[in-house]
Structure 1
Amino acid sequence: SAGSLQELLHVDIKVLMAGSTLRKVKSRSWKKQRHFRLLEDGLTIWYKSRWAGKGHSTFSVTELEMVREGHQSEVLLSIAEEFPAALCFTLVFHGRQGNLDLVAESPEEAQAWIQGVRKLIHRAQTMDEKERLDQWVWDWFQKADKNKDGKMNFKEVRKLLKMMNIEMNEEHAFHLFTMADKSGTGSLEIEQFVHFYKILTQRDEVWKVFQDYSGDGEKLMLEELDNFLRIEQQTGERSAQHAQELIERYEPSETGAMTLDGFQMYLCSQDGSIFKPEHQGLYQDMSQPLSHYFISSSHNTYLLEDQLRGHSSLEAYIKALKRGCRCVEVDSWDGNDGEPVVYHGHTLTSKILFRDIMSTLKEYAFKASDFPVILSLENHCGVEQQTVMAQHLRQILGDTLLTTLVDGQVPLQLPSPQVKIYAVGTDSFSLLLVYIPTFILYLCACRLNAHLLIASGHLIPTNSSKEKEKCGAENCPMASFALFSPLLQKSKSKLSRELSDLVVYCKSVHFHGFEHSRLHAKCYEMSSFSESKAKKLAKESGRDFVQYNTRQLSRIYPSGFRTDSSNYNPQDMWSVGCQIVALNFQTAGLEMDLNDGLFRQNNCCGYVLKPEFMTDGNAQFSPEKPDERQGYRPLRLSIQVISGQQLPKVNQKEGSIVDPLVRVEIYGVPQDQAKDETSHINNNGFNPVWNETLNFVITTPELALVRFVVEDYDKASRNDFIGQFTLPFKCIQAGYRHIHLLSRDGTAIPPSSLFVNISISELS
């Protein structure tokens, strides 16, 4: 680790290690000087106030996602007149953690930090498994070496074991210590500490699997590794070639075979992960109508916190879009100076400008995914500021905003996520196929007051013959939009024609029932349902709801009573084929774990193709009666939970050690909802071993999600969350696999993992 850092020691890194005084900025009025420097491990950034005595803070480069240069945050924009862009930069953290806005004393110092931190982030992101492990061991050595003499005595080692979440018999610990202390000095230097760590982390459960396939107990020859991959990992015909690739990738020795070290490294790598590698990239057919996809969707996207007093922020849109969100919500209200503002109306949430959100969308909408973004616009503005909104939409989004039908024809079905626009090349006059990532504007019904939501068609205030003449086609969808509802007419609300004209494929209509929709609805008509209404329809008319969603888009939103921005279970809505299941992305927990889990596949593009029985208009699938569908084939899922590795501490008190248990939860159609858990292991978060098997029957594998949760058992109160990982059942790889755990926030917590053996079979 130290050696690889030496390679990086170029001028920028040297500036970081020497340290700089930077202004930490939280608001226009809060700008305070802090001394920042990179510690010797090359991974930890330390900072403190020059006047704060011994108090200091640290964070790891691994927590950082990127560095933004200049005034690229709301806070830095607010002080742009005071500090030029050349002095400013923003450190962006993974997950929901707030950004760090900084101002340097000179442009040269700012550039040194910008370029230096970018190099460190790149290094952290491109480390292989061995480098990550070396770095992790180095970090522990640094933490344990309290007096910074480059050595560690037994007293420091005992403290280290507590820090590493392991309770160990003192006599046994001292025995391991003396085995590692080759020089007999009563202390360990870094190389000896690495040896101590290897003794400490010897994994009998991996050694036993290795022994089952190794002829001499020392190594796996190519044929032996091939046998393991075919029999245990079920890799099929390509196992021989795959075995050779794995030896080349993970085996540290040059023997042409795989030793125990290489075998363990393979099992802990992405190749040994539970997630099928072929499902990580873009593997689904993206040419079907939009109604055939689940679409990652956000509710109240502008909020970072709760919807009563929370902070509205452009950062919330950036974070949602970077997570692959493809439907964002904008609640617009009249602003004081003629500029529409966005916030949660009639509450104490802060306000942001509508135009700034459009600029943010223009910049970030297509960085994580090339596929369409649906803008769900909840309009509370008067006609004048609606026109301003329309101008911003057109001027800021420009060509990326879809304002006409894709092929000029009245659609019989919705366009696909691969929205195509044809153009004639001016040089060759040949027909060119040009793909332009496109926004689709969905205009939601307006709110008459704080309590009454009208969900009715109101996009064109007339469908008179004159309007049809203007439109130029008797059956054009733009000429057949519904009149205002009676309630809306009573309120004498008016819609700006400029804004209404931007709605092309997602016309908001009131839901009159499944039979009415079957007979009269158009594919471009879309209804919004509250979570309670959708849940009721799913329970009472699941088959009809599935059919409805083969043709049209439906959007589900959380109850207005969720003032804390909590979420409902999205699986209930996905099980009837609802596409736009909107969640509060700012709120961590089970519901967002499920959303992240479903959309983790297909290159995290925000679109997941529904199973065929939910897209075929003739299929008769009911989530309440899964056994009645054609092709019904339930599967048995057997999970042997073998062990855990380096689980994070929940309670940071020095003597606190976790008592971990593993729970597996299945989410899918009602019949598949299930959970089971292991017993808990006392005082061992470092290398707990369970060797317990949990069994499940999955009736509808295509819709099932599997969530692995690790908790700290507490007999007196509720268990504490340690980590989780959620993925679609169809993305699970059988065999001996590691599950790399995520924090409550959905970010990685390496090297924390579970080691499992998974078997999937048909019910006999």
Structure 2
Amino acid sequence: MAGRGKQGELTEYKKSQIKRDLEMGIVMTVFRQRMERLTVQVIIETRQVAWTRTADKTDGVLDLAEIREVRPGKNSKDFERFKDSKDKHADNTCFTIFYGSQFVLNTLSLGADSPEDAEKWLTGLDLLRKETLEAHTPAIVESWQRKQMYSIDQTKKNSITLKELKSLLPPINFKVPSTRFLKDKFTEIGAKKDVLDFEQFHKFYNYLIFDNQKMILDEFKKESCEFIMGNTDKPDSSVVHLYDFQRFLLYQQKETWANNVNQVRELMTIFIDDTMRRTNDPEFTVGEFLSFLFSKENSIWDEKYSEICSLDMNNPLSHYWINSSHNTYLTGDQLRSESSTEAYVRCLRLGCRCIELDCWDGPGEPIIYHGWTRTTKIKFKDVVKAINDHAFVTSEYPVVLSIEEHCCVDQQRQMARIFKDVFQDKLLTEPVELIAEQLPSPTQLKGKIILKHKKLNMDLNMENRRDVRKGEKQGELYIWDPIDEVLRDLLGE
């Protein structure tokens, strides 16, 4: 949509206004088992979208970091349930949030009261999701801590009792040795009456993490890497100076960018808890230094390799490993699970460039499912439309459709017509080069959809031919023999 396409042109003031409006929330129609009018809002502190019936009770939440797609229009099964009902929402007032960490995603389908409200939410969610994914580790940790605290008490009173904390720790993989252990920690951070406010809870968390990571500090007391001076028993008991940290980055971590002391200073500022210590000559506490070591900012992976270099994409297609999917249509096991067009959408958006279509004769039109099983059936044309809409969202490089063909010739003709009608000029139907000794490159095939399918031999005069009316495959595959200078039939006798 136009507004989201121009998101980069939004002023900072406009962005903050949109985020403030989403934080205030609006009443929308939520399409679930039934249509309900609920308040939907973004909780900035925890980086979540929440929908509520009353001010003091949250019906549900989803994490902004788990949003995989926000799809405009009535394009989810949630809307299909109510297409014959009294729903008055126009297509341009509706959208669906697809979210989750599993292959099969959850959905939150919403209907706003106006196209303007829907557009504002589409733009705002895209903006907030990107900010969340790009957030620095300390901001991510703080959001997570607030989420844990609020999960105990939805009134967000900004405090947590010792009893509540004790029940919170096991689900986050920390086994409490004893109640005395917690009481001692409460005393250590200055808590009163067995209650922590958020700042104290934040400090408590840092102490727990430090206790589990501090053995790493022994490595930095060796002569080859000695720059942490003094006691390291507590997270704030010693410091790491700016130029010591710069030398560590340069000589131990081999980070060439650290020659620029201003960049080192900016990095340190991100991890310093106390704003009063964010000066031109910053110092890490050992706890903050450990936080950096275990952060995504210190990842061993060089992010430049996450991007495909266009200069590397000019070799023949057969020179590459191709991200492929088998039985793409399935959302679960191969015997009884659901077949879904959303499985194709998910795979394509995850980066798959080769997907499979198991095609069978259906009632008047081809269908896709795992043959001879109890998996559900979906229409071939619906799958092709989904592929067309999502093929090049994640990558512009070619998509290969691997066709497992079980259809009769008549329904194969329908398939061919659907491919042409839906894909149009995206469908590769002619050689990229008329005379070529090798396959075209991914660059030459950008934006193209390739069919991988055995051809039917329609020569009716051929001896011992199979019955092509039943769709039996008589494949023809030839390869050039450079020694004898002839084409060899690989499938011949």
In the superposition, the TM-score normalised over structure 1's length comes to 0.51
Give the aligned partner of residue 188 of structure 1.
Answer: 196
Q: CA deviation at 1:92?
A: 0.6
Asked whether the equivalents of residues 65 and 129 of structure 2 are also in contact (C-alpha less than 8 Å), the reply is: yes
* Residue deviations 1:174-205 (CA, integer Å, cap 9, x gap): 122022236x4542222222222222322313
- Distance across 1 between alignment mates of 2:17 and 2:219: 38
State the secondary structure of the residue aligned to 2:202: helix
| Residue 249 in structure 1 maps to residue 267 in structure 2 | yes
- Is structure 2 residue 58 aligned with structure 1 residue 61? no
Q: Distance in 2 between matches of 1:154 and 1:68?
A: 43
The residue that corresponds to 1:584 in the other structure is none
Structure 1 residue 233 corresponds to structure 2 residue 253: yes
Please state how far the C-alpha of 1:460 moved relative to its aligned partner.
4.2
Measure the CA separation in 2 of the matches of 1:48 and 1:304.
30
2:188 is equivalent to residue 179 of structure 1: yes
CA distance in 2 between counterparts of 1:361 and 1:234 reads 44
Q: What corresponds to 1:197 in structure 2?
A: 205
- Higher relative contact order (CA closer than 8 Å, sequence separation 6+): 1
SS at match of 2:322: strand
Instruction: Deviation per CA, 1:532-586: give whole Å up to 9, x if none.
Output: xxxxxxxxxxxxxxxxxxxxxxxxxxxxxxxxxxxxxxxxxxxxxxxxxxxxxxx
Contact 2:46/2:143 (<8 A) preserved: no
| Residue of structure 2 equivalent to 1:164 | 172
In the alignment, structure 1 residue 309 sits paired with structure 2 residue 336: yes
Q: Distance in 2 between matches of 1:263 and 1:522?
A: 66
Deviation of the 1:276 alpha carbon: 3.1
| Residue of structure 1 equivalent to 2:227 | 214
Percent identical residues? 27
Segments of structure 2 that go 5 or more residues without pairing to the other structure are: 1-14, 231-237, 273-277
Aligned partners of 1:240 and 1:118: how far apart in 2?
32
Alpha-carbon distance in structure 2 between the residues aligned to 1:10 and 1:65? 22
SS of the residue 1:10 aligns to: helix
How far apart, CA to CA, are the structure 2 residues paired with 1:130 and 1:55?
26
Aligned to 2:418: 392
1:476 aligns with none
Do the aligned partners of residues 369 and 375 (structure 1) sit closer, same or farther apart at CA in structure 2, a change above 3 Å counting? same
Q: Note the C-alpha offset of 1:68.
A: 1.1
Contact 1:13 1:116 in 2 (8 A): no
Equivalent residue number for residue 370 of structure 1: 396
Is 1:413 equivalent to 2:438 in the alignment? yes
| Contact residue 213 and residue 225 of structure 1 kept, 8 A | no
Is it true that 1:97 corresponds to 2:100 in the alignment?
Answer: no
- Mapped to 2, the partners of 1:308 and 1:153 lie a distance apart of 49
Give the partner amino acid of 1:97. Answer: V
Q: Distance in 1 between matches of 2:332 and 2:369?
A: 12
User: What 5-or-longer segments of structure 1 have no aligned partner?
Assistant: 25-29, 421-435, 445-457, 465-482, 501-506, 528-764
Distance 1:156 1:71 in 2: 42
SS at match of 1:295: coil
In the alignment, the residues of structure 2 paired with residue 343 and residue 390 of structure 1 have an alpha-carbon distance, to the nearest angstrom, of 18
Equivalent residue number for residue 14 of structure 1: 24
Q: Cα distance, 1:47 vs. partner?
A: 5.1
The residue that corresponds to 1:542 in the other structure is none
What is the identity, as a one-letter code, of the residue corresponding to 1:319? Answer: R
CA-to-aligned-CA distance 1:276-331 (integer Å, 9 cap, x gap): 33422224721111111111111121221223322221101111111111111112
* Counterpart for residue 324 of structure 1: 351
Distance 1:314 1:131 in 2: 36
Rounded to whole Å, the distance in 2 between the matches of 1:268 and 1:215 is: 17
What secondary structure does 1:396 align onto? Answer: helix
Q: CA, structure 1 residues 101+254, in 2 after alignment: closer, same or farther (shift >3 Å)?
A: closer
Aligned to 1:88: 94
Query: Which structure dedicates a bigger proportion of its chain to helix?
Result: 2
1:321 touches 1:368 (CA, 8 Å); kept in 2? yes
Q: How many residues align?
A: 446
Letter of the aligned partner of 1:43 in structure 2? R
Deviation, 1:209, is 4.3
SS at match of 1:397: helix
Return the alpha-carbon distance in structure 1 between the equivalents of residues 319 and 197 of structure 2: 60
Normalising by structure 2, we get a TM-score of 0.76
**Deviation sequence 1:719-754 (CA, Å, 0-9, x none):** xxxxxxxxxxxxxxxxxxxxxxxxxxxxxxxxxxxx
Q: Tell me the SS of whatever aligns to 2:143.
A: helix
Partner of 2:137: 129
Displacement of 1:131 in angstroms is 1.0
Q: Is the 8 A contact 2:97 2:108 kept in 1?
A: yes
Shift in Å, 1:406: 0.9
Q: Work out the CA distance in 1 between the residues paired with 2:243 and 2:23.
A: 46
Q: 1:438 aligns with which of 439, 442, 448?
A: 448
Question: Aligned runs of 1:518-533 on 2, under 5 Å?
Answer: none
